[in-house]
Structure 1
Amino acid sequence: MSALVDLFPPLGLRVVAGPLELRGLTDELLAELCDVAEAGIHDPDQMPFYFPWSTAPAGELSRNTAAYHWGKRSTFSPEEFSLDLAVLLDGKVIGSQGVAAKHFPVTRTGETGSWLGREFQGRGLGTVMRQAMCELLFDHLGFEEVTSAAFLDNPASLAVSRKVGYRPTTVSRLKRREGELALNQGLVLTPDTFVRLGEPVEVAGAEAVRAFIGLDAA
């Protein structure tokens, strides 16, 4: 009998960097992640995301978050995928770290995105989880480039990118909330500029994911 991880190998991913861990987003971890989102991600007058998903009413935010991840799971293919992992600190879910890619077997690039619950921000965890993710992508999943972006009024995210070694590219003018213009800084990271963690990173489950994203034969 097939296990769920056989049907969807990203569920078996595990990346450990000291007390911080990135794990495949199972339904059990997804339920915990929804609770973290409901507890708050940012101040009401701020909006760090392209699409203001985090402003949904209580209850609806959890359902939307679960539906989003279920939807991305169901449409996952090497040609277009979102690989989203739960971030845990000492075994407790505190946020999410992911990467989205198109035509990956050819392009070998993708855009990282992440968020942390408000109570876990400002402690350097965003930098560690991004470094751990990029080690997974570069060293185990065949990525040759990683991009990111952040609004200019989101200095915390831009600071994380600088610490990890991303270089700025172009600034785009985007509609954020209704009627609101926001300037979005593009960023790019390559293995030669990547600032790695100063401690070992343990990775499990990557071999099956390589086949799943079209790199190695199953």
Structure 2
Amino acid sequence: MLIDHFPPAGLRLRTPRLELRLPGTEELAALADVAAEGVHDPAYMPFRIRWTELPPAERARSVVLHHWSLLGQWTPHAWKLPLTVFRDGAPVGVQLLKASDLAVTTECSTASWLGRRHQRQGIGSEMRAAVAHLAFTHLGATELVSSAFTDNAASLGVSAKLGYADDGIERHEDRGRLRVIRRLRLTRQAWLERERPEVTVDGVTPCLELMGLGLPAASDHDRPHPGA
């Protein structure tokens, strides 16, 4: 079976409304279709890499190729886990969790996108809460970092809801103009002090070695965690 050779294929995160996991082949195609339909208002660019400006067919193909490339470059020292987010069995977006030398740094970072028609429904905060639970409860992380342009109200709102604190800024040139990114950091202590959705995790123990970790930080199938 695939999970015998690549255990993250068996990883499952579940919240009250969502399931996060690696997609099958046809599910990846359906995810690409979500991207082709649109990810944001064309008048605003929330990403540093402007992949959403590609024509719909090329945008869809880029989702497939990017997914495969992240898994193909995986090592225990540096990995990126591009979990597809499912609602009612259908893909709605991607929640990425990544780390470098996690056993030493105890830090993970996130990135995500959500199909435009699935936005403004609280899905963005629920899917990031799911990977925060994975990182803090199962992977031994002590801090989770994220970033967003200063005018990206939606992303910054998710971070504020989950308890992130400011961690500095970055200044970037974008087609001849300045754009500023806010860095954000969530500590495990701040996460523990917030209410958060119930999250259950299956299949994490076989993944730990491939993530550069030893013993699990918690049981393989943890109890739902309603909050502090």
**Bin of the TM-score, shorter chain as denominator length:** over 0.9
TM-score (norm 2): 0.89
- Selected match of 1:48 from 36, 46, 49: 46
Paired with 1:29 and 1:181, the residues of 2 have a C-alpha distance of 38
Structure 1, unmatched stretches of 5+, are: none
Question: Could you tell me how far 1:175 is from its partner in structure 2?
Answer: 2.4
Contact 1:23 1:86 in 2 (8 A): yes
- Selected match of 1:180 from 172, 177, 184: 177
Q: Equivalent residue for 1:197?
A: 196
1:182 partner amino acid = R
Q: Equivalent residue for 1:107?
A: 105
Question: Could you tell me how far 1:34 is from its partner in structure 2?
Answer: 0.5
2:125 partner amino acid = T
Structure 2, unmatched stretches of 5+, are: 216-228
- Selected match of 1:19 from 17, 20, 23: 17
TM-score (norm 1): 0.93
- Selected match of 1:60 from 58, 66, 70: 58
Paired with 2:24 and 2:96, the residues of 1 have a C-alpha distance of 14
Contact 1:135 1:196 in 2 (8 A): no
Paired with 1:190 and 1:26, the residues of 2 have a C-alpha distance of 33
Identity of aligned residues (%): 40
Contact 1:98 1:113 in 2 (8 A): yes
Question: Could you tell me how far 1:144 is from its partner in structure 2?
Answer: 1.6
Paired with 1:15 and 1:27, the residues of 2 have a C-alpha distance of 19
CA offsets, 1:55-101, max 9 Å, x none? 11121111111111111111101211111101111111100101222
Aligned length: 214
DSSP 3-state at the match of 1:59: helix
* CA RMSD, Structure 1 to Structure 2 (Å): 1.6
Paired with 1:204 and 1:38, the residues of 2 have a C-alpha distance of 31
DSSP 3-state at the match of 2:185: strand
1:81 partner amino acid = W
Q: Equivalent residue for 1:79?
A: 77
Tell whether 2:30 aligns with 1:32.
yes
